[in-house]
Structure 1
Amino acid sequence: MRMTNKTWAAGLISLALSTVPAMAQDVTADTVVATVGGKDITLGHMIVARNALPAQYQQLEAEVLFQGVLDQLVQQTALAQSLGDDVTTATKLSIDNQTSGLLAGEALGKAIQSAVTEEALQAAYDARFADAEPETEFRAAHILVETEDEAKALKEELDGGADFAALARDKSTGPSGPNGGDLGWFGKGMMVPEFEAAVIALEPGQVSEPVQTQFGWHVVKLEETRLAEAPALDEVRQELAAEIEGATIDAVVTEVMEATEVVRPEVEIDPSAINNLDLVAE
C-alpha cells in the first residue's frame, strides 16, 4: 500500500507524546530545528507541513503537533536522501509538475488578493444595482397533473368556485401540492418559459387556462406581485467576489501567455501515449 505524506504525518503525530525541547523566543521561518545528512530543516518547513495536515489533526495541541511534524520531516528527509540518484522519471516529473502548480497558484493568488478589495466589490455592486430598474417578482401557485383533460377538468372546478389550495393538495402531483400548490416568490428567468409566460399574463387572483411544460400540465394562479428591492452588498458579496476572481484569472493568464514565448514542436504523437506509464517507470 502506498503511503501519502498526510498518512505518514498522521501516523507520526499519533505517537508524538514526548516533551518538546524548549524553543528560544526569537525565532523566524529560517530557524533550524534539525539537520539531516547536511540538509537543514527549518521552522518554516514545519509550519508549512503542519498547515497541510488533514483537518482532524489541525486541532491537536502544539506540543503534540510540534514533535510529530518534526519527526515526519526528519524521517522523510532521511528516506529521500537514501535514494541517492535512484529516482524514477515519474517522481522527477511529478516534482516538476507540483512545483509549477504551486508557483502558478501563488501567482494567481497574489493577483486575486490585489483585485478583490472592498473598493472593487463596491464598484461591481454599483455597476449591477445602482441604476438597475426594480424587477417584478411573482408569488404563484399551481396544480400539476399528467394530462390536458385533467387540467381542463380542474379549471372547470375552479371556475365553479372550488378552492385552489384544496384542489392542489388533493390533485397535484408536484412537490408543492401538500402546501396548496404555493411556489413562493420568484423572478423572471426562474421558471420554464411556458410557465413564466402564463404567470406574467395573469392579474393577481386570476387562474390560467391549462399550460403544458416539460413537467406536465399546469393550472396556475397568480397570488400577488411586488417590486424587488436590490439586495444588500453583503448578500451578494461572495457572488461578486467570485466574478472578480474569475475575471482576474482570465486577465492574468491572458497577459502572461501573451508575454511568454511558447514553442510547440510539430511532432505527431498518438494521443494514447498519455496512458503509457511504462514511459516514466524507470
Structure 2
Amino acid sequence: MPKGFTFLPSLALTVAMALPLAAETQADADTVVARVNGDEITLGHVILARASLPAQYQEIDDKQLYDAILDQLIDQSLLKQAQDGVVPKHVALALENEERSLLAAETIEDVLRASLTEEALQAAYDAKYANGFDEDEYNASHILVETEEEAKAIKAELDNGADFAELAKEKSTGPSGPNGGELGWFGKGMMVPEFEQAVIGLEKGQISEPVQTQFGWHVVILNDKRTAAAPELDEVRGELAQKIQQDAIQAKIDELSKGAQIERPALEGVGPEVIRQLDLVQE
C-alpha cells in the first residue's frame, strides 16, 4: 500500500457501505490501538480506513493490511501535529463539507431503509401494471433497397400480387433479407423514428408506401400486432425500487424544506465564475 494514502470516506461510500458483523471480540470501536503524543487512534478509525480503500487493497491479507493502515494513521497523526493545532481555512471548510455529506448520507440511509418494503414494491407494481401493460408490440417485415425508384418498383410488384417474403429474399439489401425480411417482435423506440411511424400507421397485412430512413428505402408489411404482457414483479423490482427510493428521498427533502428557514443572499458584483477562485480559501 503506498505511503501517504489519504483515507477520506465519501457520501457514496457511506450510503453503500455495509460492514459485516465482526466475530466475537472484547474490542469495540473505541478500543485504542495507538497513541501519538497522546492523540488516540482507535479500532474504529482503522476499520473505517480499511472500508474506504479501493478494492485492490482490500484483498490484502488482514494482518498486513492492519499494520499498513495503522502505520499510515500514525504517520498522518505526526504530520497533523506538525501544524501545531492550526487548521487552515481550506481544511476547515473541507471538514465541514465532509461532515455535512456524511450526516446527510445517514439521513438518506434511514429514508431508504424505511421506504423500501415489500408492501411498497407491491403497491408501486399494482399502480403501474394493474390495468395491464398498455404498450403495443409489432411484428413486421421489410424490403430494403438503395433508391426510391427501386422501392416504388417493389411496391408495384407487391400490389400486383408478388409474394413479400420471396421478393425480400431476392431484392432486399438488409440482413433480414434471407429470412424473407422478417424483423420479429419489437416495441416503440426500438426502430428509427421514420420506420416506427410507418409501422404504427399500418393495419395487419397492409404494405406501406416507400419509407426513407438513414439506412435506405424500405417497403414494410405489418405481419401482426399485440399488446405487451405485463412483466412479473421480480422482472421490474430494481426499476420500481429505484423509483420508490428516489421519490422517498425527494419527499424527505421537501418535508424538511417546508419547515426550514433557507436564505440565499444576493451577492453584489459576484458571478458564477467565483467558484474557480481557490485563492479565496487559502490563508
Q: TM-score range by the shorter chain?
A: 0.7 to 0.9
The aligned counterpart of 1:17 is none
Instruction: Label 1:110 to 1:180 Cα distance change in 2 as closer, same or farther (>3 A).
Output: farther
Q: Distance in 1 between matches of 2:254 and 2:205?
A: 54
Instruction: Give secondary structure in 1 for the equivalent of 2:184.
Output: strand
Q: CA deviation at 1:239?
A: 0.6
Q: Is the 8 A contact 2:7 2:49 kept in 1?
A: no
1:59–1:265 CA distance, 2 compared to 1 (3 A): same
Q: Which residue of structure 1 aligns with residue 169 of structure 2?
A: 166
Corresponding residue of 1:228 = 228
2-structure distance, mates of 1:31, 1:110 = 27
CA distance in 1, matches of 2:31, 2:177: 67
CA distance in 1, matches of 2:98, 2:154: 64
Rounded to whole Å, the distance in 2 between the matches of 1:69 and 1:134 is 56
Does the Cα contact within 8 Å between 2:133 and 2:230 map onto a contact in 1? Answer: no
- Which residue is equivalent to 1:199? 199
CA distance in 1, matches of 2:181, 2:4: 55
Equivalents in 2 of 1:179, 1:43: separation in Å? Answer: 67
Shift of 1:211: 2.2
TM (norm. structure 2) is 0.79
Q: Distance in 1 between matches of 2:266 and 2:198?
A: 58
Matched, 1:115 2:118: no
Unaligned 5+ segments in structure 2 are: 9-22
**What SS is found at the alignment partner of 1:171?**
coil
Letter in structure 1 aligned against 2:211: V
Q: In the TM superposition, what is the alpha-carbon distance from 1:24 to its structure 2 partner?
A: 8.9
1:149-160 to 2 correspondences below 5 Å: 149-159=149-159, 160=162
Aligned twin of 1:242: 242
Counterpart CA distance in 2 for 1:26 and 1:51 is 21
Q: Which amino acid aligns with 1:129?
A: Y
**1:249 counterpart letter in structure 2:** I
Distance change in 2, residues 1:254/1:158 (3 Å)? same
Matched residues in 1 for 2:258 and 2:71: separation?
45
Aligned residue number for residue 13 of structure 1: none
Closer/same/farther in 2, CA of residues 165 and 3 from structure 1, 3 Å limit:
farther
Per the alignment, residue 272 of structure 1 pairs with 273
Instruction: Please state whether the residue corresponding to 2:236 is helix, strand or coil.
Output: helix
Alignment RMSD (CA, Å)? 3.0
Q: CA separation in 1, counterparts of 2:202 and 2:35?
A: 79
Give the distance between the partners of 2:148 and 2:86, measured in 1 at CA.
Answer: 75
In structure 2, C-alpha distance between the alignment counterparts of 1:146 and 1:134, rounded to whole Å: 36
Q: Structure 1 stretch 272-281 or stretch 199-208: which is displaced more? A: 199-208
Q: Percent same amino acid among aligned pairs?
A: 52
1:24/1:230 CA distance change after superposition, 3 Å? closer
For 1:250 and 1:39, locate their aligned partners in 2 and report how far apart those are by CA, in whole Å: 41
Specify the alignment match of 1:11 in structure 2.
none
Alpha-carbon offset, residue 150 of structure 1: 3.4
User: In 1, Cα distance between the equivalents of 2:170 and 2:253?
Assistant: 57
1:130 is aligned to 130
2:85 pairs with 1:95 = no
Contact 1:6–1:54 (Cα < 8 Å) also in 2? no
Report if aligned partners of 2:133, 2:228 keep a CA contact under 8 Å in 1.
no
Q: Deviation digits for residues 23-68 of structure 1, max 9, x if unmatched?
A: 9932222222112232222222111111111111222232222222
Q: 1:183 to 1:67 in 2, by over 3 A?
A: farther
Deviations 1:144-169 (A, max 9, x none): 4554323223323545336254257x
Cα 1:3–1:66, aligned 2, differ >3 Å: closer, same or farther?
A: closer
CA distance in 2, matches of 1:202, 1:116: 43
5+ residue gaps, structure 1, are: 8-22
In the alignment, which residue of structure 2 is the partner of 1:14?
A: none
**Which position in structure 1 is the counterpart of 2:33?**
33
Q: Alignment partner of 1:112: what SS?
A: helix
CA distance in 2, matches of 1:179, 1:105: 55
